[in-house]
Structure 1
Amino acid sequence: MAKDKTAPEKTGRIQQFRQTYQLTKKTDRRIGLWLLGAFLLVGAVGFVVFYFLLPSKGVIGLVMAIVGAVLFGSLAALILFGRRAQKSAYSQMEGQRGAAGAALRMLRRGWRVYEEPVAVTKQMDVVYRVVGPPGIVLVGEGNQHRLRTLMANERRRHERVAADTPIREVICGNGEGEVPLAKLVRHVQKLGREVKPAEMTDVLNRLKALDANRSPVPMPKGPVPTSMKGLRGNLRGR
């Protein structure tokens, strides 16, 4: 039974890598050459290191050196693939509605990411919310001037139920004072560590009560990027 369960998982993982590779190749035509070069170069270094540093010589030493070279080369190619795939995904999402929300889903363990926005204007300016070590982070996407008012209103709503929790505001974009899409996740992660994991449950329960009294927020129409979902799964599987 266990074998039958693992087989579809492996097939799904391979399919996921294939899809991510195809998406990446749309904007990074030389991705295959980069991966091959990284595998050969780092693999050669790994071969030399294993062959000359291991005490075993002869056939056993050669086999271990080849295995080490394959491991080193594969790891280097996988790391490079993850970085270039991430860069490509951000490039494809740039300018699309919902891009900030898709990027925020890259946040890993220790973060609570709300996929639906907490506020939307008629012009489709959007405010997303994530909760993590820095506290509550409101991330705006759209026109900066309209977002200032929208985010200020959301800050006041959140302060009513979580007055002791730090609330940060970030606007995703390429204007002055905004955070580019490609740097959004890292920027949010570097906002500090003021909420302990033990306090997260209380904060989330307070926000749940706030959301219960909120009218449903319509999702912004238009292409919502999904390429980050597969990429996130690939990075977690490394």
Structure 2
Amino acid sequence: MAKKDPSKPGRIKQIIETYQLTRKNDPRIGWILLGVFLLAGGAGFALVLLLLRGSLVFPIVFGVLTGILGVLIVFGRRAQRAALGSIEGQPGAAAAALGMLRRGWKTDPAIAFTKQQDVIHRLVGPPGIVLIAEGNPNRLKPLMASERRKHERVAAETPIHEVYVGDGPGEVPLTKLVKHVSKLGRNIKPAQMTDVLARLKALDANRSNVPLPKGPVPTSMKGARQNMRGR
């Protein structure tokens, strides 16, 4: 039997920590979750009571379970939003947010950047290649054009998408980044993705060994994601 890693908090502690983090950015979370529990639980109770007249035991149990399910769904979404809000504006926030994606995606943070810490991250998944820029759009556009040409040379048949993270016109807010890239379509299959990754590995091997720009890349999204999954 595998021993529990003492450095990792238990599931209950993880949930408490996630709730505390969420409450800092969403002070009404407690009342919202209570309301969700009462509404969802009440609806579940009433539905089963109408279908199964007689004993109240099953309607009560079903109502409680429905309320808990509603709380988990709402809490998960608001916790994710709060975690994104806590890192918004930090260098590398987009790369950290992309960690919320499920399996089947490959993220390469800061494949290109400027001296002012404007960066381009690369995401490879079902849509193809997604180049994600965060920082000053005016400084990023020539860098994005350069990266697009490099990627087209090694993966000409693979769709390449450009995404600018921000709150300006034509930009995608950080809180909607994961949802946005998930809706870009399914253009390549897993076998094709393996070939694309091999081509990109060759491309990256030819890049000059320039150090990353100064400034920490936020890691709080990783912890929040693990907490939400109960790891």
Q: Same fold (TM over 0.5)?
A: yes
Taking only the aligned residue pairs, the percentage that are identical comes to 66
Q: CA deviation at 1:236?
A: 4.5
Query: CA offsets per residue over residues 85-141 of structure 1, 9 Å max, x none?
Result: 122222222221111111111111221122x31011111110000001111100011
- With over 3 angstroms needed to count, the CA separation of the structure-2 counterparts of 1:18 and 1:118, relative to structure 1, is same
Residues 18-29 of structure 1: pairs in structure 2 closer than 5 A = 18-29=16-27
Find the residue that maps to 2:10 and give its secondary structure.
Answer: helix
CA contact (8 A) 1:20 1:227 kept: no
Q: Aligned partner of 1:102: which letter?
A: A
Q: Aligned partner of 1:117: which letter?
A: A
Partner of 2:144: 151
CA contact (8 A) 1:107 1:113 kept: no
Partner of 2:219: 226
Structure 1, unaligned stretches of length 5 or more?
A: none
Partner of 2:64: 70
Instruction: Give the length in aligned residue pairs.
Output: 231
- With over 3 angstroms needed to count, the CA separation of the structure-2 counterparts of 1:232 and 1:216, relative to structure 1, is farther
Q: Aligned partner of 1:81: which letter?
A: F
**Cα RMSD (Å) of the superposition?**
2.4
Partner of 1:212: 205
Q: Aligned partner of 2:63: which letter?
A: A
- With over 3 angstroms needed to count, the CA separation of the structure-2 counterparts of 1:40 and 1:120, relative to structure 1, is same
Find the residue that maps to 1:32 and give its secondary structure.
Answer: helix
1:191 to 181, 184, 190: 184
Partner of 2:116: 123
Q: Is it true that 1:166 corresponds to 2:159 in the alignment?
A: yes
- With over 3 angstroms needed to count, the CA separation of the structure-2 counterparts of 1:43 and 1:141, relative to structure 1, is same
- With over 3 angstroms needed to count, the CA separation of the structure-2 counterparts of 1:196 and 1:217, relative to structure 1, is farther
Structure 2, unaligned stretches of length 5 or more?
A: none
CA contact (8 A) 1:50 1:65 kept: yes
2:88 to 91, 94, 98: 94
Query: CA offsets per residue over residues 152-193 of structure 1, 9 Å max, x none?
Result: 111122122211111111111112221111121112112222
Partner of 1:133: 126
Q: Aligned partner of 2:174: which letter?
A: L
- With over 3 angstroms needed to count, the CA separation of the structure-2 counterparts of 1:33 and 1:105, relative to structure 1, is same
TM-score after normalising by structure 2 = 0.89
Q: CA deviation at 1:30?
A: 1.5
